[in-house]
């Protein structure tokens, strides 16, 4: 969506879910002058008349991804003013790599009163290609720099680039608009800048984290679930770990995965890493599954310092998990018990929903504002698979546990 700023015409995106984050960045784009229309999975974006170079603080503070508009605004207008995004419940995610990348492309960047002011240096008309080495393969920094470089003069090389499928998808979208990008999906991306990009229509890649969440929901309830459309290669680390603990996963077609009922599975060790390693976004949901595994598991969160807040809530449901810094030791138990729990972030909320599906009695998950950021109508999809689950208002939740509910 932020990349549409690079095009001085209309872009149509297909396969766009109704998520809270989609709404929020749509509001930010609208404030910049982009015409946004979203209906039935189709998102139309018309950035032909951008009227603002400053993103509004009250909207940016609600969504870290809003900083992605900095690179496209700078490339398109030669100036961008974007407030520093607000804090993040799962840990610190500074924008210094973004800023260094934009500076390398020829931008003068000053941070004053919580706002990043970026503009072209001197009398330059366009950004200038550069060789940029990222100290860490940040997905956000890779994407922001790559977007800015599409309209820069000359060649830009991003070394130690993030390799996530989402980076590849963004590169493919930019290419569909006429950008010259190669190497996306490797640690070295090369962009040859062009004077302008053109209108396009593009289908967004299937969400590998939502797919992984449903695979884990099937595994924890010992159910058979078939998922489509998915890209199995995007889930290779997750599938490998499921196979390692004894859960059977079948790839029935190039775009279809099926998890098979498995009565017993064993513990394992997991370490979150940048792609193609095990995804940090599936660490919490996978932990829910391992609470019912035979034996002990060790989960090491290496990417975010505060992404184990779900441990206390899973223990409230009868799990046996001990924390030591960024390491969780999970000792499998025979059964989880329904309990009132609080989702503290997007993936923690999904983990608690998964745990509630397998728990004995009613689980009430609060904090659905987090869940709605990344899952479109998850309760209806789970109900369609036979889950006893519903969304309820606070006043409608009974005091005595009867069956699973969301609130």
User: 137-181 pLDDT, tens per residue?
Assistant: 999 999 999 999 999 999 999 999 999 999 999 999 999 999 999
Q: In what order do the strands lie in the sheet with 10-14?
A: 35-39, 42-46, 10-14, 200-203
In angstroms, how far is the first alpha carbon of the chain from the final one?
A: 30
Name every residue whose Cβ is closer than 8 Å to that of residue 258 and which is 6 or more positions away in sequence: 224, 225, 226, 227, 249, 250, 251, 252
Q: Are 313 and 348 in contact (CB under 8 A)?
A: yes
Q: What is the pLDDT along the chain (407 residues), one digit of tens a residue?
A: 999 999 999 999 999 999 999 999 999 999 999 999 999 999 999 999 998 898 888 888 777 778 899 999 999 999 999 988 754 444 445 688 999 999 999 999 998 888 899 999 888 889 999 999 999 999 999 999 999 999 999 999 999 999 999 999 999 999 999 999 999 999 999 999 999 999 999 999 999 999 999 999 999 999 999 999 999 999 999 999 999 999 999 999 999 999 999 999 999 999 999 999 999 999 999 999 999 999 999 999 988 777 798 999 999 999 999 999 999 999 999 999 999 999 988 899 999 999 999 999 999 999 888 899 899 999 999 999 999 999 987 656 665 444 555 43
Distance CA 217, CA 220 (A): 5
The torsion of the CA quartet 146, 149, 150, 152, rounded to 10 degrees, works out to 180
Q: Where in the chain is the domain with CATH 3.65.10.10?
A: 2-203, 208-406
Domain formed by 208-406, architecture: Alpha-beta prism (3.65)
The pTM for the full model equals: 0.92
CA nearest neighbour of 319 among 301, 333, 305, 302:
333
Beta-bridge partner residues of 159 = 133, 188
Name the CATH code of domain 2-203 (choices 3.40.1350.10, 3.65.10.10, 3.10.310.10, 3.40.50.2300).
3.65.10.10
Joined tokens for residue 233: 């290669």
Is the N-terminal amide bond of 276 cis, ω within 30° of 0? yes
Distance CA 195, CA 205 (A): 27
CA nearest neighbour of 78 among 46, 107, 111, 112:
107
Per-residue burial over 353-385, b if 16 or more Cβ lie within 10 Å, else e, is: bbbbbbbeebbbbbbbebbbbbbbebbeebeee
Distance CA 255, CA 195 (A): 36
User: Per DSSP, which regions of 211-338 are E strands?
Assistant: 225-227, 249-253, 256-259, 269-271, 296-300, 320-324, 327-331
**Collapsing DSSP states into helix, strand and coil, what is residue 132?**
strand
Distance CA 116, CA 144 (A): 14
Distance CA 133, CA 127 (A): 17
HEC-encoded secondary structure of 251-313:
EEECCEEEECCCCCCECCEEEECCCCCECHHHHHHHHHHHCCCECEEEEECCCCCCCCCHHHH
Helical ranges in 33-95 per DSSP H: 57-60, 70-77
Joined tokens for residue 165: 């499928």
Active-site annotation holder among 7, 11, 88, 174: 88
Q: CB count, 10 Å around CB of 395?
A: 6
Phi-psi region of 78 (alpha: psi -120 to 50; beta: other; left: phi over 0): left
Distance CA 42, CA 24 (A): 16
- Is residue 88 part of the annotated active site? The answer reads yes
Q: What percentage of the chain's residues is helix, strand, coil (to nearest 5)?
A: 35, 25, 40
């Amino acid at each position: 969506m932020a990349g549409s700023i690079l095009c001085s015409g209309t872009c149509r995106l297909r396969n766009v879910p109704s998520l809270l984050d989609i709404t929020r960045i749509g509001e930010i784009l609208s404030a910049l002058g982009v015409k946004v229309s979203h209906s039935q999975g189709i998102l139309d974006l018309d950035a032909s008349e951008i009227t603002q170079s400053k993103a509004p603080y009250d909207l940016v503070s609600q969504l870290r991804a809003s900083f992605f508009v900095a690179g496209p605004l700078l490339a398109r207008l030669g100036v961008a003013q974007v407030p520093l995004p607000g804090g993040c419940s799962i840990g610190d995610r500074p924008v210094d790599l973004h800023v260094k990348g934009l500076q390398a492309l020829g931008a003068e960047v000053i941070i004053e009163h919580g706002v990043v002011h970026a503009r072209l240096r001197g009398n330059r008309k366009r950004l200038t290609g550069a060789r940029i080495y990222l100290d860490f393969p940040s997905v956000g920094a890779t994407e922001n720099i790559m977007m800015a470089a599409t309209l820069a003069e000359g060649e830009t090389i991003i070394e130690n680039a993030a390799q996530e499928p989402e980076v590849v998808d963004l590169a493919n979208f930019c290419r569909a608009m006429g950008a010259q990008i190669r190497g996306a999906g490797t640690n070295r991306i090369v962009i040859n800048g062009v004077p302008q990009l053109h209108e396009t229509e593009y289908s967004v890649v299937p969400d590998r984290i939502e797919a992984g969440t449903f695979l884990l929901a099937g595994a924890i309830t010992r159910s058979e679930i078939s998922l489509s459309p998915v890209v199995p290669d995007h889930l290779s680390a997750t599938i490998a770990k499921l196979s390692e603990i004894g859960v059977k996963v079948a790839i029935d077609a190039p775009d279809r995965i099926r998890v098979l009922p498995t009565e017993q599975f064993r513990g394992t060790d997991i370490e979150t890493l940048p792609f193609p390693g095990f995804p940090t976004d599936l660490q919490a949901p996978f932990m829910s599954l391992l609470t019912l595994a035979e034996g002990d598991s060790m989960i090491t969160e290496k990417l975010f310092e505060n992404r184990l807040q779900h441990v206390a809530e899973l223990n409230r449901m009868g799990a046996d998990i001990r924390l030591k810094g960024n390491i969780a030791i999970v000792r499998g138990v025979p059964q989880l018990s329904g309990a009132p729990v609080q989702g503290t972030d997007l993936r923690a909320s999904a983990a608690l929903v998964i745990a509630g599906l397998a728990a004995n009695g009613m689980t009430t998950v609060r904090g659905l504002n987090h869940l709605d950021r990344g899952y479109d109508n998850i309760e209806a999809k789970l109900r369609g698979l036979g889950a006893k689950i519903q969304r309820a208002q606070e006043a409608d939740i009974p005091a005595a546990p009867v069956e699973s509910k969301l609130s």
